[in-house]
Amino acid sequence: MRITDVLRTPRTARTPRTARTAPAARTAVLAVTAGLLLLGGAAAPAVADATPAASASDGAAGSGAPTRAGTSFRTATEIEQGQKATANASAGDYMYWSFPADAEQRPTVTATVKLPEGARSASSTWQVDVYDGLRRRQACQYGAQTRTAGQATDTVTLACVLRTVRAWSEPWANDPLPGTYYVRLTTTELATADRGMPVSAEVLVGSEEMGGAAAVDGSLAEPLVPGIAVTGAGNAGSDEEPNAVLSAIEPEDGWSSGWWSDRWVWTAVGGVLAALAGVGGYALTRGPGRPSRVPPGA
């Protein structure tokens, strides 16, 4: 074949750039749409989990709800979240309950005190406090932690919304950590003539799942569960001391200690979307193919 025959060969017609980029644009749009649908599906469980457990009905607590309260940290009555506990006591007594709280939960404690009907000699002030497993008093984010009941008031309702429980914290910090929490209900101001009057109390603990927004990079080796529960008095006829074990209460699904959160899902979805956006952007912005080596006008 002669060189003149090669030069006279007609060039292959180029595909218009718009014709090449149209399929690429459609592919990028479909990829982004699929990623958004995947992102919405991952966010749906997180929204569903944000429903506070405290809104459960009284019947959900079951017939085995505690009907007494402890008088100290060591004898605190164990309750589960969503379980309404009741107790009868005398004005001036300390009432204690304990409950488990895991990482990424924001507990809410609600206490209701029912006073005897009829006028009393003076008003009284009631207060609910919450302590963590190290018996450190935890501040309430919001809620009526202290209220005063007038002489003719029959019911006092208190509430305390704690900060979100963290899976890990600095040793010097006072952040809430996974483990046992104690509720203490008592009166801080009471007339001498009203001491010892019969009262009844109701306590309900719930929590809101905060999700990956509250996740931290770290976890405790063990939850803070220092509560003591006497399980037995030893063998009959022996001098053995009662068996003291760690508190038996724990979350319904066990202690997570922050090893998993929906932040992993959001991170994975974000990585997929970034990869799809890179592929789509390259397809939309790449230039024409390698130019032909055939001289123009041949």
Mention every residue, 6+ apart, whose C-beta is less than 8 A from residue 291.
Answer: none
**What crossing angle do the helices spanning 17-49 and 263-285 adopt, rounded to 10°?**
170
Kindly write down the DSSP assignment for every residue of 1-64, as one continuous string: --HHHHHTSPPPPPPPHHHHHHHHHHHHHHHHHHHHHHHHHHHHHHHHHTS-GGG--GGGG-TT
**Four-CA torsion 33, 35, 37, 38, nearest 10 degrees:** 170
**Gap between the Cα atoms of 245 and 265, Å rounded:** 38
For 52-61, 78-87, 256-265, which range has the lowest pLDDT when averaged over its residues?
52-61
CB 216 within 8 A of CB 167: yes
In CATH, which of 2.60.120, 1.10.10, 1.10.287, 3.30.70 is domain 51-246? 2.60.120
Mean pLDDT calculated for residue range 83-93: 94
Strand partners, 110: 159, 204
Q: What region does 16 belong to: left with phi over 0, alpha with psi -120 to 50, or beta? A: beta
Where does the pLDDT of residue 223 fall: very low under 50, low under 70, confident under 90, or very high at 90 and above?
Answer: confident
Distance set, CA 172 to CA 82, 168, 169, 175, 231 (Å) = 31, 12, 8, 9, 34
pLDDT digits (tens, 9 = 90+) for 139-193: 999 999 999 999 888 999 999 999 999 888 888 888 999 999 999 999 999 999 9
* Residue 104: alpha-carbon gap to chain centroid: 3
Tokens describing residue 30: 């479909």
* Burial profile 162-178: b = 16 or more Cβ within 10 angstroms, e = fewer: bebbbbbeeeeeeebbb
pLDDT-derived band at 34 (thresholds 50, 70, 90) equals: low
CB 98 within 8 A of CB 181: yes
In whole angstroms, what is the distance from residue 62 CA to residue 295 CA? 89
The model's pTM is 0.65
